[in-house]
A and B are shown apart, each in its own frame.
Chain A
Amino acid sequence: MTAPHLLEVQDLTVDFLSLGGAFRATNGVSFHVDAGETLVILGESGSGKSVSASAIMGLIDTPPGDICSGTITYRGKNLDDCGIEERRDLNGKKIAMIFQDPLSHLNPVYPIGWQLAEVFSAHGVAAGAEARAKAIEILGRVGIPEPEKRIDQYPHQFSGGQRQRIMIGMAIALRPEILIADEPTTALDVSVQAQILDLLKKLQAEDGLAIIMITHDLEVAASMADRVIVMNSGRIVEEGQARAVFENPQHSYTRTLINALPHADGVDGSDRRSTAVIGAPILEVRNLDKYYGISSGIFTKSTQLHAVKDLSFTVAKGETIGIVGESGSGKSTVARVLLRLNDVSNGEALFHGRDIFKMDAKELLGFRRKVQMVFQDPYSSMNPRMTIFDIVSEPWRIHKDILDKPRWRDRVVELLGLVGLKPEHADRYPHQFSGGQRQRIAIARALACDPELIVCDEAVSALDVSVQVQVIDLLAQLRDRLGLAYIFITHDLPIVRHFADRIIVMKNGAIVEHARTEEIFRNPQHAYTRQLMNATPRPKWEAAPSIVPLPA
């Protein structure tokens, strides 16, 4: 009889009850983790990966949750046998957890020092000045500069990466044995992501932590995992040593996920790049500047933020321009200014020779018909009380000359067919569709006025990887069929690799590099571009073996 695993989950089945009946979130899930090792639970949204972690922490509310079967044992002790107090004391002390969005997971009205010190006071370890001193020490340990000064600040005064460091600090404060990390880097920029992953590895090496990492991101998974389990629809479809699973996936679902990776060199044979002949320029942007005024108190001076600096580029018919940058780079501002959702500060943008910024109301209406936008969040960019038919046909209500009303239904059905949806979908409402389907609807709506240019602002960022590929394929097909041009704005450099003709890399509002896609990837000129490419986490087995996991 071998010693029990540090943490073991056996045959966990969790239902969520709703008016429509019970929904099975996990179905007979079993896994274990031992000291010093990292187990990655990999899956797309709705796969039930977070539910298993919440069950370990006792965070599932019943109702609506219902734990139908399964046992969770910590050091051979069944957690179901623990009293409420015993279970609470385990949380934070022996098993800790960090979450995806550190801003909403930190209490906005208390200083971070207070929130850190609370970990000590809640478990009776330390209180008052002693807890405060320990909190400062922890802030230093997770890499917050000048912890003495920053300890009394509030969560909104920190950057996203710092907030996640603070979350990690709270989690490791009492040197727990197990750390559950639920999508810890998904809300962060790639360069910050790398830092956070390094921090986790460092802490693991120092404390011999067992990490259960939940992610949908294969690269993050590969860079962290010793062992991996792949979940789909509440079931484990594949598990094993990380390298074996990634290099030789057995289950078809795992293969689909790995093939969907945009930067898997050679794996993806189909070249999605434009093959159609690129036509004459339709949009010429010259020396675009945009300032935002910040703060406008009567007695305070207003300062200005230079969001876009001296930006120039052209878009030709049938061409795709990728604008890549991290948050705060000004990439979305470009889209908003070009569509005149925000006013420009300086510069001009010629659309078929006419300056967009000087158009009167009538010209602008005609311009907006030719240039459409697809937004990041397909959930909030559609009116939930309108049917798909109403949503797609709305442009014709505004531009009355496009189509006679009797022909609307036929055209909506045609457009839905074009984006891979069925005619009967027209009478449904947005909430009845998945994220990928909604983004297809958004594309159909954009196509309704026969545009020449579509601006996609992070249009696939909210989607699962396998769905991202489908949507990008759809956009590429439509481009070839309809001769569309795209401005594709994203924070994810690899994703535009097989899609964009040219790429503009932006940082702090300015262009740092602007070149043809092949050249950017073959020979990036600017250090920042290289940093963005290298920020993609490398698989653990390819990295220098500086961190050797303890034997199980």
Chain B
Amino acid sequence: MFSFILRRSVQSLIAVIGLLVLVFFLSRLTGDPAYLYLPLDSSEAQRQAFSEANGFNDPIYVQFGRYLLGVANLDFGTALSRNRPAMDVALQAFPQTLKLAVIAMSLALAFAVIVGSLAAAKPDSLFDRIASTASLAGASAPDFWVAIVAILIFSVGLGILPTSGTGTPLHWIMPVFVLTLRPFGLLVQVVRGTMISALASPYVKTARAKGVQRSQIIFRHALRNSLLPVITVAGDLAASLVNGAVVVESIFGWPGIGKLMIDAIVRRDFALIQATVLITAIAIFVLNILIDLLYARLDPRIRFQSK
């Protein structure tokens, strides 16, 4: 197992370095930060002085070398827009996103497994039809639209939930709901499909011949076998949440990494862009390793193959 993690780490390191190179050069194509950070009536000389002070006048490879040297010393540069170390800013925002993502994913998975399994237990029943229709709607509804409608109803209309920001538990309700909806909808469809084929499998027939209780057949025999594809899809969805639910964070004014990334791009805050990308890349790498380990935990055949 250790050698597996090591190998994956090396692979991921190469990917992360490639990503950093790409982000470094692409972000510099967006334009000159001097125009954004100095007053509109600033003179050419003032802009030159600003660029000189921040090192933007050096050849790009020199800037890149300086950046790599900094990264090697765990110095990720200063976020121009906030005048603080870029990594500090990114690390402050990341937990906000992570909390949101973990809560939303856990809820989506838990509900999807229950609803999907029950729907698969009796295909074409009333429950199955309601679950299938509702999950399809959930999976297809654009989250910005759901977010706006939710604000319209619960904040503007009923006035029971705050429109944006953080602080009280009430602030969590709408962002979590909006972020849960799509993964929930997609996962119900996946769970239902894999459960239907698992319930038709020969080992379920054996369990029935053994006289195993129906609930045990569904939630022990069939479910564990159906979880592998579910985990794969859930991993993809989780990655997009960890990446920062940009739209949802922006609408609800959530101080997470997605919103930070957008702000950094708009402000041409290169150091901050690079720091946020690095954080999310590492998070997704860790997530993927966790999924691989979970796979091996769920399916003994994978475990023994690696030996």
Contacts and interface: CB of A to CB of B under 8 A. Distances in A.
Indicate whether A and B interact.
yes
B205 A107 contact: no
A540 B207 CA distance: 32
A123 interface: yes
Contacts of A24: none
Contact of A298 (B3, B213, B225): B3
Given A108-B225, A297-B306, A300-B307, A59 B299 contact: no
A35 to B, nearest CB: 20
B209 A97 contact: yes
Interface string B283-307: 0000000000000001111001011
B221 interface: yes
A99 B208 CA distance: 12
Given A107-B203, A298-B3, A300-B307, A59 B209 contact: yes
B211 A90 contact: yes
B205 A105 contact: yes
B7 A298 contact: yes
A399 interface: no
Contact of B208 (A57, A110, A298): A57
A122 B212 contact: yes
Interface string B106-128: 00000000000000000000000
A170 B216 contact: no
B212 A154 contact: no
A48 interface: no
A119 B299 CA distance: 22
Contact of A91 (B3, B202, B211, B300): B211
Q: How large is the interface on B (under 10, 10 to 19, 20 to 34, 35 or more residues)?
A: 20 to 34
A297 B213 CA distance: 41
B224 interface: yes
Contact of A105 (B202, B212, B224): B202
Contact of B209 (A96, A111, A300): A96
Question: Which among B205, B206, B208, B298 has the highest number of chain A CB atoms within 10 Å?
Answer: B206
Contact of B202 (A96, A99, A157): A99
Given A108-B225, A156-B304, A299 B206 contact: no
A57 B203 CA distance: 15
A109 interface: yes
Contacts of A96: 209-210
B224 to A, nearest CB: 5
Contacts of A88: 211-214
Nearest to B203: A107
Contacts of B203: 104-108
Interface in A272-317: 297-300
A518 interface: no
A104 B304 contact: no
A455 to B, nearest CB: 31
A492 to B, nearest CB: 25
Interface in A71-103: 88-93, 96-97, 99, 101
Nearest to B222: A107
Nearest to A97: B209
Given A109-B300, A122-B216, A157-B304, A104 B201 contact: yes
A509 B203 CA distance: 33
B202 A122 contact: no
Question: Which among A58, A89, A101, A105 has the highest number of chain B CB atoms within 10 Å?
Answer: A105
B292 to A, nearest CB: 14
Interface string B1-16: 0010001000000000
A167 interface: yes
Nearest 6 A/B pairs, CB to CB: A92-B211, A91-B211, A97-B209, A92-B210, A107-B203, A104-B202
Interface of B: 3, 7, 201-203, 205-214, 216, 221, 224-225, 298-301, 304, 306-307
Given A91-B210, A97-B209, 11 more contacts: A57-B209, A104-B201, A107-B203, A108-B225, A109-B298, A109-B299, A111-B300, A122-B212, A154-B301, A156-B301, A157-B304
Interface of A: 57-59, 88-93, 96-97, 99, 101, 104-111, 118-119, 122-123, 154, 156-157, 167, 170-171, 297-300
9 contacts: A88-B212, A88-B214, A92-B210, A92-B211, A108-B203, A118-B212, A122-B213, A170-B206, A298-B7
